[in-house]
Amino acid sequence: MFWNGKNGKNGGKSEGNGHHLIDLQGIRKVYDTGAVKVEALRGLDLAVRENEFLAIVGPSGSGKSTLMNIIGCLDTATEGSYRLRGEQVAGLTIDRLAEIRNKRVGFVFQNFNLLPQLTAFENVELPLLFKGTPARQRRERVELLFEQVGLSDRMLHRPVELSGGEMQRVAIARALACEPDIILADEPTGNLDTTSGRDIIGMFEDLWRKGHTLVLITHDPAIARRARRIVNVQDGTVVSDEAVA
Amino acid sequence: MKALSLIVRLFRGAAKIQRKRMILTATAIAWGTVAIILLLSFGEGLKRSLETGRRGLGESIVIIWMGETEKAFAGLPAGRPIRLVPDDVELVLEGVPELASASGEMHNWNVQLVNGRTALNKRVVGVHPAYRDLRTSYAQAGGRYIDELDQRLKRRVVFLGNELAKDLFGKDDPVGKTLLVADTPFTVIGVLQKKKQMSMYGGPDSDRATIPLSTFEAMFGRRYLSNLVYQPTSVAMAPVAKRHLMEVLGAKYRFDPADTRALYFWDTIEDAKMMNAIMIGIEMFLGMIGALTLIIGGVGVANIMFAAVTHRTREIGVQMALGARRVYITGSIVLESVALTFAGGVAGIGIGVAVVQALAAVQARAKSEAMEFLGAPTISIPIAVTTVTLLGLIGLAAGYFPARRAASVQPADALRFE
């Protein structure tokens, strides 16, 4: 199966730096709005191992979104060290960061962020296009992904023709397209009804069981408890970090 | 290829929203393209018109008139008149290897020409047969020019300018008819083909009668040439030919070859060079006006691209999150800008070509002299290349700056954009 190969693939490989997949040390992020400087992260440390299911919780303004942006290489830290699978991310070029996002990180957003003018199929195909996968492999891979998320009959629909739950499943298929090291989900159930939300979380648990590493950002304690580890961020630092029984 | 088509699709959806603005922008580009094509085509038409007009006098020829020496030479004082005779034509042809051909010319500007009851006083010139090619004096079908035999036998044959022929013979074909030239019967052997002649000396070729130089000498008792026309073997050899000619004639008439007053030269080769330079100047000027008009259209494209980039910031953010390298972001924006520019450009080229063709048709029918001088607007390959190159450059420039802005945004900021 295509998405349970993670452990097998990397099991024997040294990850460097204590086998941490994500290793954040002393991360500071300062937003300079001109008049005032806002310190969103104040020397945050966080380490995530392979095949963890981690929830980052915290009130709004706590810095959890900033943290997700930094983990996902969508933004760079003002200060501190970030190693992703042993590779120092700080100071990489824009294109190298794009490549990391493309190959190592799969994003699932609260508002799905599907491109409206493309079909579901093309949305999932997009990261593979950016990666440079040949057409035939792309096609096979996308079809397989749609099978996995149970939307094979919706491939040629446009996002507006899909329900919220379906859109999020397309987004998950897209996140998985390039077999990423981490799946980063930012409030993935925030725009969904309870049933769809439960489905999506169930899907994440499935992925975790099959060897994926998941980082879930949420403010909902009920959803956070579905993860195996909860990191509580407040005022830009980690205030608690505990395993879920 | 699929990647390219997908990138095009990425923007096509968003383009729908801005369709009206895009059409207006493309129209601005089309307008600029029409302007540049019209201006350059008229420039080209004018250039060709001037060129044929110049050829009416002759291609790469030099005309010599006689002067007076300015410098004392070989014991002779300054101020001696130099007079050339018909034999000097053979002398220079033999003595100056850089000459391709030469002809003497004698003028009598007031000779009575009589055909039946029509009598006119016109200019009659005597020339060598080589004059035909030197001065592009070709006969209409059914006639001929003066030839060697006419010259050797001093035949009484006359070649008429086309306007003069009309004045004397009306609609009749004058060839073979008899014409009284200063009370002497001449046979008309040919009529000049209509030609555009912009430069002239002694009146237009269309309004004169031409007879063999030998006949002219005998009839009017002239010894000296009015002027001498020659053509060097090539444009590059023209200065050498001129120097050698001065040496050969200087040796015969004993004047300093460096004496600029002994003989006057009208060098049409130099004129042509200057005219070319002026034409290039005019074309550059016209091209610049067109280019400026086109650039205004380009500013419109840049403007709409900036708006589009802002409008799609979030989508660009999503693409960045999925791992789009900078070239995908900038490439698709530049591509769109170039496509938009070329869409307008193609429409503009179509309209421009149609307008040029319509104007050329109108021009061909118009009888006005100003229109004739302006020439038919003509589209040439360089005009097409210039226009397309300009369009491409404008499209690239109009896309580059918005694209650079789009790619410079942090993906996190782009995703947050509402």
What pLDDT shows up at residue B218?
93
CB contact under 8 A, B323 and A98: yes
- Residue A1 is assigned to a structural domain of this protein: no
Average pLDDT of span A136-153? 94
Contacts of B322 in chain A (CB under 8 A): 101-102, 107, 126-127, 130, 174
Nearest CA to B132 among B210, B189, B186? B210
A92 vs B: CB within 8 A = no
Residues of chain A positioned with their CB less than 8 A from the CB of B319: 115, 126, 130
pLDDT of residue A104 exceeding 80, the answer is yes
CA distance B104 to B255: 20
The reported pLDDT for the residue numbered B360 is 83
The pLDDT value given to residue B359: 84
Please report whether residue A206 resides in a domain.
yes
CA distances B269 to A90, B199, B385, Å, are 71, 13, 29
Q: Are strands B157-160 and B227-232 parallel, antiparallel or unpaired?
A: unpaired
Supply the CATH number for residue A112's domain. Answer: 3.40.50.300
Q: What is the pLDDT of residue B75?
A: 87
CB contact under 8 A, A99 and B323: yes
pLDDT tops 70 at residue A17: no
Q: What is the least distance, in Å, from the CA of A196 to any CA of chain B?
A: 23
Q: Do A74 and B415 touch (CB under 8 A)?
A: yes
Spell out which residues of chain B touch residue A69, defining contact as CB-CB under 8 Å: 412
Tell me which residues of chain B, numbers 2 to 41, contact chain A at a CB-CB cutoff of 8 Å.
Answer: 2-3, 6, 9-10, 12-14
pLDDT for res A8: 41
Contacts of A118 in chain B (CB under 8 A): 6, 9-10, 13
Residue among B5, B7, B322, B328 with most chain A CBs within 10 A, to mutate: B322
In a domain, A171, yes or no: yes
- B412 contacts chain A (CB < 8 A): yes
In chain B, whose CA is at the least distance from the CA of A113? B318
Sequence-distant contacts of B356-365: CB under 8 A, at least 24 apart = B356/B37, B356/B38, B356/B41, B360/B45, B363/B45
Nearest to B219 by CA among B124, B359, B334: B124
Residue B177 region, left (φ>0) first, then alpha (ψ -120 to 50), else beta?
beta
Residues A112-125 have a mean pLDDT of: 91
Q: Please answer yes or no on whether B325 and A130 come within 8 Å at the CB atom.
A: yes
The neighbour count for residue B48, using CB atoms within 10 Å, is 16
Interval A160-216: pLDDT, tens: 999 999 999 999 999 999 999 999 999 999 889 999 999 999 999 999 999 999 999
Tell me the nearest-neighbour CA distance from A111 into chain B, angstroms.
11
pLDDT of residue B293: 86
Total tally of structural domains belonging to chain A: 1
**How many beta-carbon pairs below 8 A join chains A and B?**
77
Rounded-to-integer distance, Cα B328 and Cα B12, Å = 15
Count of positions (residues) in chain B: 418
**CB contact (8 A) between residue A118 and residue B6:** yes
pLDDT at A3: 47
CB-CB contact of B23 with B285 (8 Å): no
Q: What mean pLDDT value characterizes chain A?
A: 88
Cβ distance A126 to B322 less than 8 Å, yes or no, reads yes
The pLDDT, as a whole number, for residue B16 is 61
Extract the residue ranges of chain B whose pLDDT is less than 70: 1-17, 367-369, 373
pLDDT of residue B17: 61
Cα dihedral sign, A226-A229-A231-A232:
positive
A50: containing domain: 6-243
d(CA B264, CA B245): 12
DSSP chain A: -TTS-HHHHHTTS--STTTEEEEEEEEEEEEE-SS-EEEEEEEEEEEEETT-EEEEE--TTSSHHHHHHHHTTSS--SEEEEEETTEE-TT--HHHHHHHHHHHEEEE-TT----TTS-HHHHHHHHHHHHT--HHHHHHHHHHHHHHTT-GGGTTS-GGGS-HHHHHHHHHHHHHTT--SEEEEESTTTTS-HHHHHHHHHHHHHHHHTT-EEEEE-S-HHHHTTSSEEEEEETTEEEEEEE--
Query: DSSP E strands: which ranges in B240-357?
Result: 263-267
For this complex, say whether ipTM is above 0.95: no
Q: Whose CA is closest to B209, among B270, B122, B290? A: B122
Closest Cα to residue B99, out of B228, B234, B236, B247? B234
Interface of B with A in 328-387 (CB under 8 A): 328
| Mean pLDDT score, A111-126 | 91
